[in-house]
Amino acid sequence: MCPRTPIATVVALLVTAPLAGQSPPPEAMVDSVFADLRGPTSPGCAVSVMREGAPIYEQGYGMANLEYGIPITPRSVFHVASVSKHFTAMAIELLVNEGRVSWDDDIRTYVPEVPDFGTPITLRHLVHHVSGIRDQWSLLSMAGWRWEADVVTQKDVLDVTSRQTALNFPPGERYLYSNTGFTLMAVVVERVTGQTLREFTTERLFEPLGMEDTHFHDDHEMIVRNRAWAYAPDPDGLFGLKNSIPDFDVVGATSLFTTAHDLAAWDRNFITGQVGGEVAIERLRTRYTLNDGEEIGYTHGLSTGTYRGLRTEGHGGADAGYRSDFVRFPDEGLSVAVLCNFPSANPGGRARRAAEAYLGDRMEPEGDASAGPGGATVPLTPEALASLAGVYRGELPGQLDRIAVVDDTLRVITRGRVALRPLGDHRFDVVGEGVVVTLGPVGEGGAVVLRVPGGEEYVRFDAWDPSPEELAAFAGTFHSRELGTDYRFEVEGGVLRFHHRKLESAPLRPTFQDGFLVRGNSVEFTRDSAGRVDGFRLSQGRVWNVRFDRMDPGAGG
């Protein structure tokens, strides 16, 4: 005989099992979003779905520690990277409440290490990413700092910031994400209160809200209970992975340690205003108007927008192998936190899919799949593909992409050889990034232009192909006072190569006349009145025109 099933179990099955033709319960739909993160050899994610600040579904998927077989739970502690930013902003909001600082204060009032660039840079400029101050991580990378190999401290960020002789642009002119601003705000908290950001936020934010497993992590050697370890791909490693852990002692822009469960208490504060009050919560949502009158969507450490017609606010984060996303649907009273420990986790996409389980009936339809990345491929001839290859240059420093045909596929070489899949009418799906760009000639016989979401345009230049003799003019050693480092270039085997005392050698890829790409940076050489190469400007997305000068003047003919 079969054992009898307890009546309570039968009732539970009848209540939770969907009837034919009915949708599965939202919890099952959330589980399906993370269905690929099962088993003892996979990193994963923790999720918390919150309604009006109370968790209504929490779950862990995958492993927090592969070496010891420890699974992820909603109380696993993650480094959440840039999700930290609106917590740092709230710390300043509390000081504003008390009249101890103002958002319109000059940063040099508190941090005189910031150079005088001839125009005030306010805390308001910093919090909205409109200050023009160059990004700390880009600067340190250019200077030779190696992630997960060199420990970076607040002092190191202040040092490299103090060396800068120029801004990317005048304050308030445009939005450009800069982590430096939030690190500087952490220094403001320390100098105004006499407490570290960790001490201040623990006392004033986390303890009052009951966020028992949350802190700003300012000591990378500190032991943290229930920490989820992070991983990155490694074909030679066990399970095809390696450890990938941030080792910096920098807070403000990053380094918040928290759990999916604790973030429900933070979400509740948006409703109750227990910490900061309604006035501080509203300031967190304050938008900024640029000098030309354009309003931007980044507020005080929050990115605002919409998803399928519903208003959103929140932030994502990425450091080493950690990925995180915290998104609120304030008009619907629903929020989702997804914290993960591997780079390809896509927590932002998963968080929004989890929200669909509860809000799908209120959301706008997802649109025509043929108009987006899901559309069918429209094959192009080899000649048509070749006509689109070349170097594409934007209007801003460092805006360079090199597109080439590799194995009959158009690829953006400067972005990890990502493929461009043709959808027809000059539209291309950027494979794996969920966006569609347009790429083709403008007008009859016009230039070939790459247009990306947001309206930016890149114009194609025919690739420059210098001879070894021409390359010899760029060989030599160059020094940057702003970075405190030297670069050396040598012609080896007909190729100009980059050398640095800490970084691996790499080839410089010619772009346009006197221009190259190396290690994701744009190099534009300059010449003196006699036509000799006397230095170069180094740029990338968040840092523009860092100056290097030739150390052997008179060479470079």
* CATH number of the structural domain spanning residue 133: 3.40.710.10
The answer to whether position 229 is within a domain reads yes
Instruction: Please give the helix or strand (H or E) that residue 438 lies within, else none.
Output: strand 435-441
- Point out the domain boundary residue: 446, 461, 476: 461
Q: Which residue has the tokens 């028992």?
A: 212
Q: Do residues 318 and 294 both lie within one domain?
A: yes
| Residue 247 shares a structural domain with residue 396 | no
pLDDT of residue 435: 84
Q: 92 and 143: one domain? A: yes
Confidence at residue 2, expressed as pLDDT on a 0 to 100 scale: 43
**Model pLDDT, residue 138:** 96
Does residue 205 share a domain with residue 254?
Answer: yes
Strands (E), 310-426: 310-319, 322-329, 334-340, 390-393, 400-406, 409-412, 418-424
Is 237 among the domain residues?
Answer: yes
Q: What is the 3-state secondary structure (H, E, C) of 58-77?
A: EEEECEEECCCCEECCCCCE
Give percent of the chain with pLDDT exceeding 90: 80
CATH number, domain with residue 430: 2.40.128
Same-domain status, 497 and 445: no
Q: Are residues 474 and 457 located together in one domain of the fold?
A: no
Which residue range(s) make up the domain with 102? 84-323
Indicate if 298 and 399 belong to the same structural domain. Answer: no
pTM above 0.95, yes or no: no
> 280 with 414, same domain?
no
User: Is the domain of 263 the same as that of 404?
Assistant: no
* Rg, Å, the chain Cα set: 26
pLDDT at 556: 67
Instruction: State the Cα–Cα distance between residues 370 and 482, nearest whole angstrom.
Output: 48
Query: According to the model, what pLDDT value does residue 554 have?
Result: 62
Residue range 487-512: mean pLDDT, rounded: 95
pLDDT tens digits for range 349-367: 999 999 999 999 999 997 5
Kindly report the CATH number assigned to the domain that includes residue 533: 2.40.128.50
Is pLDDT above 50 for 487? yes
Q: Are residues 420 and 512 in the same domain?
A: no
Q: Which of 4-18, 31-45, 245-259, 362-376 has the lowest mean pLDDT?
A: 4-18
Distance, CA of 492 to chain centre: 35
Look up residue 505 and give its amino acid: S
254, 257, 263, 267 alpha-carbon torsion, rounded to 10°: -30
**C-beta of residue 387 within 8 angstroms of C-beta of residue 400:** no
Residues 143-157 have a mean pLDDT of 92
Single out the residue in 286, 306, 323 at which a domain terminates: 323
Helix (H) or strand (E) holding 143: helix 136-143
Q: Would residue 366 count as lying in a domain? A: no
| pLDDT given for residue 422 in this prediction | 93
The two counts, helices (H) then strands (E), for the chain are 14, 32
Task: Mean pLDDT check: name the lowest of 4-13, 181-190, 448-457, 526-535.
Answer: 4-13
Query: Mean pLDDT in the chain?
Result: 91
Residue 104 has pLDDT above 80, yes or no: yes
Q: Verify that 481 and 443 share a domain, yes or no.
A: no
The residue assigned the tokens 């002692």 is 249
Based on the structure, what is the number of domains in the chain?
3
Task: Check whether residue 143 and residue 286 sit in a common domain.
Answer: yes
Query: For position 455, what pLDDT does the model report?
Result: 76
- Single-letter amino acid, residue 212: E
What mean pLDDT comes out for the span 375-400? 87
Which of 325, 345, 338 shows the shortest CA–CA distance to 260? Answer: 338
**pLDDT tens digits, one per residue of 283-323:** 999 999 999 999 999 999 999 999 999 999 999 999 999 99
Residue 18: the pLDDT is: 54
Structure tokens, 326 = 């915290």
**Residue 483 lies inside a defined structural domain of this protein:** yes
Q: What is the pLDDT of residue 61?
A: 98
